[in-house]
């Protein structure tokens, strides 16, 4: 039976790729159903693999094809990888279900199944980024992920969304260029592409003191590339336009999981190629810490100044990405644990926030500015509740998962040498700023509309059921994890030790 | 120092081309020039990668009747970087095609290739779908 389980990660990637190919032949609703089924199957497969890895107590290296290392290609999965794969596939399936209404409403005819092809491709590339043990395969799937994300953005046939997709692509390709250069540097120095061999060579070269500068340059390029792609300050400028023009489902997928896919890949590089000692010795961690703190503050300030709910959510995403990088910059154990927890927390929360804001905008006549949103929480009651719980989680109110991650960030901050004050201060300031903009929005959506003011016409058939399902699942998950997070924390702790 | 630079001249040449490409991609406002910049950047990366595997005087790693039965290491250059370059070219071709497709759509809509003008025009319009 064990033999069978270890095939699941490889099958998941192939299944998602196959689904995207088959979707081209299907009609629009069949393509949607296929995507939902495949994502759900992959979620179950990830859980099975997780169970197997937890029972076995060690990570598994799986040979792709018939050539053993160092010539062949490999995938490798431990607890960390399986948890991330399960999170990605769960959020993907809920975003596809919840976003289906807006896709039907706003994407015409045959383009709908193109949308689901891109969703399948995005999931396949995210899984490959999570599981891969080969640096060049990682690069190829980073590019596939970028193309899929661009497809999800440009699916709406409006000038705004295409120009937003263009801007996203340009930022993203700069990141990819730096990433590939870093990979070539590393290959040039070590002559390997697989993570274990790379780690061995890098460790012995670093210990001998040879090639310090090229190795540091490679580490710099390999971390800055994904940082640009995931939108770390000051490279977050594409976010507001991109997320505000995307469909709610696409924005949830992009902000919730695609930007996290790059971070997970980078975490794997840091742990499995360079090792955390080199990462912290080289000073890159300090850059992460500083830019992460800047992102937390400037992202939140941008969110306060934003004139519409979707731009506010986008700036808020930039701030939350900052938390993750700050965690990675603090320490190898608890800092990374906090960052990994926040990846899950933000994936679950932000996708719910984007989906519910999409519904709030829809019942406000398609307008996303705060004035039009007045009373939206009464017009779409469930969306209002989902948004409120999501906002509470982003702020870090107890009973939600955001609270748990904030506690871990604070605990990590206490252990940070010399940076304790900065980290704790940044956490406090950023929390207050979060409260300001989320409270402002919540007061706005729950203020009843004045009698006789402009009537908001709700166009299109109600798409409530699917959205309600996704929103409820994400909200319940958020609260459950907020109430009882210890098992997940323990698993992630073991996963980070095993990585 | 000079000796090192001369010895690694392909590295320096490709770095200079890479920097030209990345600045063009990031700073030029014309979309077509941006795409050209992307390709210059990628080409520089592949030049560097290809040069890593090149060994002076040896041939391409293709077994023919003459070379059958001999081991590859004294006859051929390192084939792995060449294979990686091929993979990379496929990636950059597909990304270029996607960018060109988006550019065509934007040009048809706004009649300009200047990204600033496009963003300005797109900002003014309401959602039209």
CB contact under 8 A, B125 and A188: no
Q: Which residue out of B35, B102, B104 would a mutagenesis test of the A interface target, given it has the greatest number of A Cβ atoms within 10 Å? A: B102
Nearest CA in chain B to A238: B119
Give the least confident one: A369-378, A480-489, B8-17, B62-71. Answer: B62-71
Choosing among A163, A178, A194, which should be mutated to test the B contact, i.e. which has the most B CBs within 10 A?
Answer: A163
Q: How close does chain B come to A143, measured CA to CA in Å?
A: 7
Greater pLDDT, A336 or B70: A336
Q: Reply yes or no on whether the pLDDT at A16 is more than 60.
A: yes
Average pLDDT over residues A480-498: 89
Contacts of B31 in chain A (CB under 8 A): 166
Q: What is the pLDDT of residue A457?
A: 52
| Chain B residue nearest residue A135, CA to CA | B84
Domain boundary assignment for chain B: 2-56+70-124
Q: Is the pLDDT of residue A209 over 90?
A: no
Q: Which span out of A34-38, A231-235, A245-249, B58-62 was modeled with the highest average pLDDT? A: A34-38
Q: Which residues of chain B have pLDDT under 70?
A: 65-73, 126-129
- Please tell me the distance from the alpha carbon of residue A241 to that of residue A64, in angstroms, as a whole number: 40
Closest CB to B102 among A162, A241, A245: A162
- Summarised one tens digit per residue, pLDDT across range A456-475 is 555 444 557 888 888 899 99
| Interchain contact, B127 vs A366, CB within 8 Å | yes
The verdict on B128 touching A (C-beta cutoff 8 Å) is yes
- Residue B109 contacts A, CB cutoff 8 Å: yes
Query: What does the pLDDT read at residue B70?
Result: 65
* B65 min Cα distance to partner chain A (Å): 25
Chain B contact present for A181, CB below 8 A: yes
Please write the tens of the pLDDT for every residue from A78-135: 899 999 999 999 999 999 998 888 888 888 777 888 889 999 999 999 999 999 999 9
What is the average per-residue pLDDT within A407-434? 88
At B97 the pLDDT is: 95
Nearest Cα residue in chain A from B23: A174
Q: Which residues of A touch B106 (CB under 8 A)?
A: 159, 162-163, 166
Min Cα distance B3 → chain A (Å) is 17
Average pLDDT in the A23-29 region?
Answer: 86
B98 vs A: CB within 8 A: yes
Mean pLDDT of A342-369: 89
Question: What torsion do the CA atoms of A61, A64, A68, A72 make, to the nearest 10 degrees?
Answer: -120
From the list B42, B81, B125, the residue facing A160 with the nearest CB is B125
Instruction: Look at A167 and B115 and tell me if their CB atoms are within 8 Å.
Output: yes
Instruction: Give the highest mean pLDDT range of A62-71, A151-160, A313-322, B119-128.
Output: A313-322
Q: Which residues of A touch B91 (CB under 8 A)?
A: 139-140, 143
Q: What is the pLDDT of residue A459?
A: 46
Q: Which residues in chain A are contacts of B127 at CB distance < 8 A? A: 158, 160, 245, 366
Give me the DSSP letters along B47-104.
HHHHHHH--TT-B-S---TTTTTS-STTTB--HHHHHHHHHHHHHHHHHHHHHHHHHH
**Mean pLDDT on A312-319:** 92
The beta-carbon neighbor of A180 closest among B26, B45, B102 is: B45
Query: Which range, A28-32, A41-45, A452-456, has the best average confidence (pLDDT)?
Result: A41-45
For testing contact with chain A, the best of B23, B40, B41, B112 (most A CBs within 10 A): B41
Per-residue confidence (pLDDT) for residue A39, from 0 to 100: 93
**How wide is the angle at C-alpha A412 spanned by C-alphas A406 and A277, nearest 5°?**
140
B4 touches chain A (CB under 8 A): no
The residues pairing with A60 across neighbouring beta strands, listed in sequence order, are: A77
Q: Does B19 touch chain A (CB under 8 A)?
A: no
Could you tell me which CATH class the domain B2-56+70-124 is placed in? mainly alpha
Q: What is the reported pLDDT for B127? A: 55
Q: Residue A46 above 90 pLDDT?
A: yes
A167 in contact with B at a CB cutoff of 8 Å? yes
Q: How many whole angstroms separate alpha carbon A236 and alpha carbon A259?
A: 11
Mean pLDDT value across chain A: 88
How sure is the predictor about A138, in pLDDT bands with cuts at 50, 70 and 90? very high
**Chain-chain contact of A160 with B122 (C-beta, under 8 angstroms):** yes
Residues of A (186-225) whose Cβ lies below 8 Å from B:
187-188, 193
Of A158, A167, A170, the CB nearest to B25: A170
Q: Nearest residue on chain A to B27, judged by CA atoms?
A: A170
Nearest-CA distance B119 → chain A (Å): 7
The DSSP H or E segment spanning B35 is helix B31-53
HEC assignment per residue over chain A: CHHHHCCHHHHHHHHHHHHHHHHCCCCHHHHHHHHHHHHHHHHHHHHHHHHHHHHHCCCEEEEECCCCCCCCEEEEECHHHHHHHHHHHHHHHHHHHHHHHHHHHHCCCCHHHHHHHHHHHHHHHHHHHHHECEHHHHHHHHHHHHHHHHHHHHCCCCHHHHHHHHHHHHHHHHHHHHHHHHHHHHHHHHCCCEHHHHHHHHHHHHHHCCCHHHHHHHHHHHHHHHHHHHCCCCCCCCHHHHHHHCCHHHHHHHHHHHHHHHHHHHHHHHHHHHCHHHHHHCCHHHHHHHHHHHHHHHHHHHHHHCCEHHHHHHHHHHHHHHHHHHHHHHCCCHHHHHHHHHHHHHHHHHHHHHHHHHHHHHCCCCCCECCCCCCHHHHCHHHHHHHHHHHHHHHCCCCCHHHHHHHHHHHHHHHCCCCHHHHHHHHHHHHHHHHHHHHHHHHHHHCCCCCCCCCCCCCCCCCHHHHHHHHHHHHHHHHHHHHCCHHHHHHHHHHHHHC
Tell me the shortest Cα–Cα distance from B56 to chain A, in angstroms: 17
Whether the predicted pLDDT of A455 surpasses 80: no
Residue A454, pLDDT above cutoff 70: no
Tell me if B106 and A162 make a contact (CB, 8 A cut-off): yes
Instruction: Name the minimum distance, in Å, from the CA of B90 to any CA of chain A.
Output: 10
What are the domain boundaries of chain A?
A: 1-280, 283-499
Predicted-complex ipTM score:
0.92
Percent of chain A, pLDDT > 90?
49
Question: Are the CB atoms for A444 and A355 separated by under 8 Å?
Answer: no
Contact: B129, A157; criterion CB under 8 Å: yes
Interchain contact, B25 vs A106, CB within 8 Å: no
């Amino acid at each position: 039976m064990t033999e069978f389980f270890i095939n699941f990660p490889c099958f998941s990637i192939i299944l998602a790729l196959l689904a995207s190919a088959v979707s081209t032949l299907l009609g629009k609703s069949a393509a949607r159903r296929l995507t939902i089924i495949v994502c759900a199957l992959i979620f179950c497969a990830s859980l099975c693999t997780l169970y197997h890895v937890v029972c076995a107590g060690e990570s598994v290296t799986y040979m792709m094809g018939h050539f053993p290392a160092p010539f062949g290609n490999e995938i490798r999965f431990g607890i960390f990888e399986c948890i991330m794969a399960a999170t990605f596939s769960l959020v993907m399936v809920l975003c596809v279900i919840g976003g289906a209404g807006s896709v039907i409403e706003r994407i015409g005819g045959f383009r709908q199944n193109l949308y689901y092809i891109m969703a399948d491709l995005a999931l396949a590339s995210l899984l490959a980024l999570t599981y891969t043990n080969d640096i060049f395969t990682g690069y190829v799937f980073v590019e596939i992920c970028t193309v899929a994300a661009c497809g999800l953005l440009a699916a709406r046939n409006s000038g705004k969304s295409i120009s937003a997709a263009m801007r996203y692509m340009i930022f993203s390709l700069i990141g990819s260029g730096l990433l590939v250069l870093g990979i070539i540097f590393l290959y040039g120095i070590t002559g390997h592409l697989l993570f274990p061999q790379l780690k061995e060579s890098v460790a012995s070269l670093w210990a001998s003191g040879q090639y310090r500068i090229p190795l540091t340059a490679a580490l710099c390029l390999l971390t800055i590339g994904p940082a640009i792609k995931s939108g770390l300050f000051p490279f977050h400028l594409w976010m507001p336009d991109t997320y505000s023009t995307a469909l709610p489902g696409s924005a949830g997928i992009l902000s919730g999981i695609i930007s996290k896919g790059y971070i997970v890949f980078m975490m794997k590089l840091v742990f499995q190629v360079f090792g955390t000692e080199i990462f912290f010795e080289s000073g890159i961690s300090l850059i992460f810490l500083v830019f992460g703190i800047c992102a937390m503050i400037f992202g939140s300030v941008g969110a306060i100044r934003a004139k519409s709910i979707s731009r506010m959510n986008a700036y808020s995403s930039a701030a939350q990405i900052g938390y993750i990088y700050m965690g990675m910059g603090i320490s190898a154990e608890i800092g990374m644990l906090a960052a990994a927890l926040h990846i899950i927390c933000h994936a679950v929360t932000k996708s719910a926030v984007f989906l519910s804001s999409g519904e709030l905008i829809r019942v406000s006549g398609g307008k996303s500015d705060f004035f039009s949103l007045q009373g939206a929480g009464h017009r779409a009651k469930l969306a209002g509740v989902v948004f409120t719980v999501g906002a509470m989680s982003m702020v870090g109110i107890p009973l939600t998962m955001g609270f748990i991650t904030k506690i871990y960030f604070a605990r990590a901050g206490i252990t940070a040498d010399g940076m304790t004050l900065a980290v704790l201060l940044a956490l406090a300031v950023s929390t207050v700023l979060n409260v300001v903009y989320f409270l402002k929005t919540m007061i706005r959506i729950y203020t009843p509309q004045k009698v006789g003011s402009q009537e908001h016409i709700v166009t299109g058939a109600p798409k409530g059921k699917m959205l309600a399902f996704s929103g409820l699942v994400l909200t319940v998950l958020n609260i459950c994890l907020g109430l009882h997070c210890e098992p997940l924390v323990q698993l992630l702790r073991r996963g980070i030790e095993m990585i | 120092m000079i000796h090192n630079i001369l010895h690694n001249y392909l590295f320096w040449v490709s770095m200079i081309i890479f920097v030209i490409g990345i600045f063009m991609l990031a700073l030029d406002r014309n979309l077509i020039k941006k795409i050209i910049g992307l390709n210059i950047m990628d080409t520089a990366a592949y030049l560097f990668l290809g040069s890593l595997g090149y060994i002076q005087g040896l041939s391409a790693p293709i077994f023919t009747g003459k070379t059958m039965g001999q081991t590859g290491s004294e006859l051929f250059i390192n084939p792995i970087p060449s294979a990686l370059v091929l993979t990379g070219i496929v990636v950059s071709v597909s990304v270029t095609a996607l960018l060109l497709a988006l550019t065509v759509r934007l040009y048809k809509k706004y009649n300009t290739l200047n990204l600033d003008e496009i963003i300005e025009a797109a900002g003014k319009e309401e959602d039209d779908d």
